[in-house]
Structure 1
Amino acid sequence: MKLAVVGGGSTYTPELIDGFARLRDTLPIEELVLVDPAADRLELVSGLARRIFAKQDHAGKITTTTDIDAGVADADAVLLQLRVGGQAARNQDETWPLECGCVGQETTGAGGLAKALRTVPVVLDIAERVRRTNPDAWIIDFTNPVGIVTRALLQAGHKAVGLCNVAIGFQRKFARLLEVEPGQVHLDHVGLNHLSWELGVRLGGPDGENVLPKLLAEHGDAIADDLRMDRRIVDRLGVVPSYYLRYFYAHDEVVRELGTKPSRAAEVAAMEKELLEMYGDPALDEKPELLAKRGGAFYSEAAVDLAASLLGDGGSSVQVVNTYNNGTLPFLPDDAVIEVQARVGRDGATPLAVPALDPLYAGLIANVTAYEDLALEAALRGGRDRVFKALLAHPLIGQFDYAEGLTDRLIAHNREHLAWA
């Protein structure tokens, strides 16, 4: 089996490598190709990757290339983990929206739209190269904003599934609190990428006992602290929202907070510098503890599970992924991309049935889906008016003057990445 990782020079990559090494029986990789235009980073990351494989006695070969076509040739799956513009662009996404009194964040709001506009054309170009070179390969998208990017891929006819680590992170945390193995925990995970709720936590499988009330009663403070939300929010809802819901449920508080400290991008950039120095140490043969602070916890486990189900011959498995709605949430169009439990096998992902949703959740999902429709249109076709409409539709913006000011700032800060600007 051959896998290619586009964006293989990312400081995330050793997390992925560690998972591939530990879980080699689940996903028996013979060749792993790391693809990245940054040859210097690629050399550092691949050196550590090979040492991790060697330490854990993984027989797979790790190769590198800056050539996308060469890297994806003959790959069974291609994993995308890109950041167009790097941490510098992310820093802008997290700062200029604050000038208008709106949250600055890399996957939602105005910053999230900027990232989508930069990213969608690049991802579609890569996907076309995959299709020309290797049309049977699956594309696994971990590139944010995952929902919008995955929809762009699916609409263009690519074999693609979107992946996020939020659900598997909750699964692992709940398993620890319940003192059971992670495989015993099944989540009633419903929503969109970075706009989701755990409506139930079941032991043993999709039809198992719902222990969410017990979790909230016994561990509510710990869960709320982890989400950085007031315990009252979790108690009132009676479910566990993704921590990204904090941008919606406590928007003004978050804006004030963000205005008083360095951006997350600045913190991550400093971390990345330190990580790359560590990766260059020939004695290092395991992922460093600092990497856990970088983000992406359990990303490798989720990626291994998904790739194994898409490529294996052992039947299907149930996982949280991003894929077409196809009637799962009846208030959304079939071609909306949702994030829910799905049965995943060689033919792709089929969402499991979801009970009727409370309007409290359905309304926000519908609103953000409308924004994502407009965001994808702006990413595909460009134009100031399309950017403005997407911003006006976003529930974190929604006011004419805000949308006008944010449109001008978005274009000014991203002109080099926008072919139409």
Structure 2
Amino acid sequence: MRLAVLGGGGFRVPLVYGALLRDRAKPRVQEVVLYDVSAQRLETIGHVLRQLAAGHDDPPVVRTTTDLDTALREADFVFSAIRVGGLAGRTADERVALELGLLGQETTGPGGIAYGLRTIPVALHVAERVAALAPRAWVINFTNPAGMITEAMRRVLGDRVIGICDSPIGLIRRAAAALGLDPARVSPDYVGLNHLGWLRGLVHQGRDVLPGLLTDDAALVKVEEARIFGPEWVRTLGALPNEYLYYYYFTREAVAAISGPTRGESLLGQQDAFYAAVRARPDEALAEWLSARRQRDATYMAEARDATDAGEREAADLEAGGYEGIALALMAAIARGEPATMILNVRNGSAVPGLPEDAVVEIPCAVGGAGVRPFATRPLPGRFLGLLQQVKAVEQTAIEAALTGSSDLAVAAFALHPLVDSVTTAHRLLDGYRARIPELAAVFPS
């Protein structure tokens, strides 16, 4: 099989290739085509992949290209992890919001909207080229904001585009481990949107064990999300929230905790140093990447953990892997017809009552050779459903804004978000992002 990786010069591409190296079942990916707009970044990641493959029998062949059509031709799977505007755009996503006293974060709140507004036109172009050149390919989308981008790409690709995220599986692993259970032997009742969901139940041997976890102080403290949100709040909710809900439930604390460099600014410095180091010492590419990866993983959502004294990330979390494992499992289930249950970003239909049929939701799904089938979920209480409905309305407004180039709709997307507190501020957000992000200004010139 041939896998095209869009954003192939990205820092996390070696994680995907490492997962492919460990996969020995048939059929397997035998050729990987890396596409990126930067030939220099492709060269750097190429050094890392070659060193990763050393000592492996029959590793997947790697080719690189800066031409999108070349990457897509004859692809069986397309993995999309592009970043329109690069990390410089991310730093602007964060800073423009923070300067207005709002949350500055990559996917949540104003920053996520700005990221989506400039990414959607590019993602739609990618979808159109996939449809033209590789119509039988499956697209696995990890481009953020993943739910919004997946929903936009569905307009061209329908069910053949599937969004993935590693946050839900990480939460489930931690909850199961706290109870001494094998995560592979539990069935989660998880429901929401990308970066906005709740684990409402965890069934083991026919019994929901989550209520027991929520009442067990010794076990609950082992779950990072419970430490971040506090045992009292998760008990009040009756569920374990996705870590990104910290930005909704503790907005003021989150904003106050972002002092000094933002996450995007820190990553920009780290990655500039990494790419420069590999250019200077290509023989040490893998060692440089491993060092940078450890630093990156250890500081993930550090502002939430620091503000709540949740402590450093558990070693088991850092070692468990994330989205690369989900991507490989999804490809294996479809290509080999191996039935699996996974939490994915897919079209709602009637799976989540109260949300539009065409909305992309993040819920458990059955996956196999015929594709993906979402499971029906239990009705949500108002305290969850209301937030989902509002954020989904924002996402769908942002999609229409990006597709039409309407500044009025872009302002509406900002203004309707629960983390933006006024229409006047929404106008200032759009003006600020246009001034600092050329890729967004090109979509909304005036």
TM-score category, normalised to shorter length: over 0.9
Residue 57 of structure 1: CA displacement?
2.9
Matches within 5 A, 1:164-313: 164-203=165-204, 208-216=206-214, 217=216, 218-224=218-224, 228-258=228-258, 260-276=259-275, 277=277, 281-283=282-284, 288-295=290-297, 297-313=321-337
Residue 214 of structure 1: CA displacement?
3.2
Partners of 1:265 and 1:176 in 2: CA distance: 31
Instruction: Give the TM-score, by structure 2 length.
Output: 0.88
The unaligned stretches of length 5 or more in structure 2 are 301-320
Q: Deviations over 1:279-329 (max 9, x none)?
A: 954255576154144359411111101111222233x32100001000111
User: Residue type matched to 1:189 in 2?
Assistant: Y
Matches within 5 A, 1:274-353: 274-276=273-275, 277=277, 281-283=282-284, 288-295=290-297, 297-314=321-338, 316-353=339-376
Q: 2:401–2:410: 8 Å Cα contact kept in structure 1?
A: yes
Residue 349 of structure 1: CA displacement?
1.8
Partner of 2:170, secondary structure, is helix
Matches within 5 A, 1:151-170: 151-158=151-158, 159-170=160-171
The unaligned stretches of length 5 or more in structure 1 are none
Q: 1:415 to 1:42 in 2, by over 3 A?
A: closer
User: Residue type matched to 1:266 in 2?
Assistant: E
Q: Deviations over 1:88-139 (max 9, x none)?
A: 1100111111222211111121111110011111111112111111111111
Q: 1:224 to 1:70 in 2, by over 3 A?
A: closer
Partners of 1:24 and 1:94 in 2: CA distance: 41
Q: 1:110–1:410: 8 Å Cα contact kept in structure 2?
A: no
Which residue pairs with 1:400 in the alignment?
423
Q: Deviations over 1:187-226 (max 9, x none)?
A: 211000010111112336xxx3222233332332232567
Partners of 1:172 and 1:281 in 2: CA distance: 36
User: Residue type matched to 1:32 in 2?
Assistant: V
Partners of 1:227 and 1:121 in 2: CA distance: 39
User: Residue type matched to 1:99 in 2?
Assistant: E
Task: Give the CA RMSD over aligned residues.
Answer: 2.1
Q: 1:408 to 1:227 in 2, by over 3 A?
A: farther
User: Residue type matched to 2:262 in 1?
Assistant: S
Aligned residues: 416
User: Residue type matched to 1:249 in 2?
Assistant: Y
Partners of 2:407 and 2:50 in 1: CA distance: 46
Identity of aligned residues (%): 35
Partners of 1:149 and 1:51 in 2: CA distance: 33
User: Residue type matched to 1:213 in 2?
Assistant: P
Instruction: Give the TM-score, by structure 1 length.
Output: 0.92
